[in-house]
Amino acid sequence: VKEAVVRFIRDARRVMVITHVSPDGDAIGSLLGLGWALRRLGKEHTLACADPVPKRFTYLPGSEAIVTGPGPVLSGSGEYDLVISLDCADLQRLGAAYDESLAGLPLVNIDHHVTNTHFGTVNWTDTGVASAGEMVLELVESLGVPLDADIALCLLNGIVTDTRGFRIPNTPLRTMRAALTLMEAGAQLPEVTDHVFNRRPFSDVCLWAKALGGLRLDGRIIWSQITRTMRQECAFSENGDAGLVNFLGTTDEADVAIVFIEKDDGRVKVEMRSVPGVDVSAVALNLGGGGHPQAAGCTLDSDLDEARERVLRAVKEATKGQVRKSWSAES
């Protein structure tokens, strides 16, 4: 399948590359890494995302060239001959960046999520890697593009984000090897780690303070919610949870952490994390979302109260009988 992807890219003249809404460090990193590779190949291209690049990733080379929303992302996009989707489990996650003018074009789907719906003309999915960044690294090698420090930095940003700094269980050894390759090419791991984990604006901390005020522990589920009012009061301009769900996921007494986020359009975004042994990806998929066994999410067309009740019920049902894996157990 990768060979087919390489062929599509080689044959293309103008490429539109899109990553998912509410972009994380792997979305932005893999988008920019592939962008640099296309530039080295002399391919005209546009890098797009429906939501703005989070501030902590603007240190990545080329990030200012990413075309973003809110609102319509593209205009007059008729001249493209190939669309590439990166780090995206389904078509809806491309959001407003995948507009009607692109719908007739071949679509290459490059992703590592278990819940990928194979929505592309070509679907290169690999659930054996931790990040889309690693898939782009393979692509860079297959395309014969020399790996330079710019590409390496962007792709390492993806790996570090999706492995949470090499801390998630079952980080494949090949992921560690890919990281080493990127470091040998000039990417600085401390620089990436600092930007991904050690930087947050006051608006994030303010939001945590407000959200933690309504914290609940319900059985083995810890949850909290972020309202529109909280975001306004903290001048928090993004649609995410500022990483709160990862923090809640560290609670000893909980197996599942959930943050309910009231979006500007009134819908509710649900972020879920779970301990190894407990799977939240199936629940997310059932509710129209997707993700990984230990990190998944969805967006619901209902108010906060209704969304919360529905999700809590579904998670309790789905995780019944599942138990936290202990470190001595064979993984």
Query: Which residues sit at the interface with Mn ion, rule CB under 5 A?
Result: 26, 87, 132, 162
Q: Which residues contact 88 (CB under 8 A, 6 or more apart)?
A: 18, 19, 20, 94, 109, 111, 113
Q: Which two structure tokens, joined as six digits, stand for 153? A: 């930095």
Shorter beta-carbon distance to Mn ion: residue 136 or 307: 136
Q: Which two structure tokens, joined as six digits, stand for 278? A: 């407990």
CB of 202 to Mn ion, least distance (A): 27
Residue nearest Mn ion (C-beta atom):
26
Q: Say whether 68 sits in a helix, a strand or coil.
A: strand
Distances in Å between the Cα of 206 and the Cα atoms of 23, 62, 128, 217, 253 are: 21, 30, 37, 21, 25
Shorter beta-carbon distance to Mn ion: residue 26 or 255: 26
CB of 29 to Mn ion, least distance (A): 9
Shorter beta-carbon distance to Mn ion: residue 136 or 242: 136
How long is the chain? 331
CA distance 240 to 226: 9
CB of 183 to Mn ion, least distance (A): 19
Shorter beta-carbon distance to Mn ion: residue 162 or 241: 162
CB of 20 to Mn ion, least distance (A): 8
CB of 131 to Mn ion, least distance (A): 5
Instruction: Count CB-CB contacts under 10 A for residue 32.
Output: 30
Q: Which residues contact 194 (CB under 8 A, 6 or more apart)?
A: none
Shorter beta-carbon distance to Mn ion: residue 26 or 279: 26
CB of 232 to Mn ion, least distance (A): 30
CB of 21 to Mn ion, least distance (A): 13
Shorter beta-carbon distance to Mn ion: residue 98 or 208: 98
C-alpha dihedral over 212, 55, 69, 297, to 10 degrees? -40
Shorter beta-carbon distance to Mn ion: residue 89 or 221: 89
- Give strand pairing partners of 86: 19, 110
**Cβ atoms of residues 156 and 181 within 8 Å:** no
**Cβ atoms of residues 158 and 165 within 8 Å:** no
Instruction: Count CB-CB contacts under 10 A for residue 273.
Output: 25
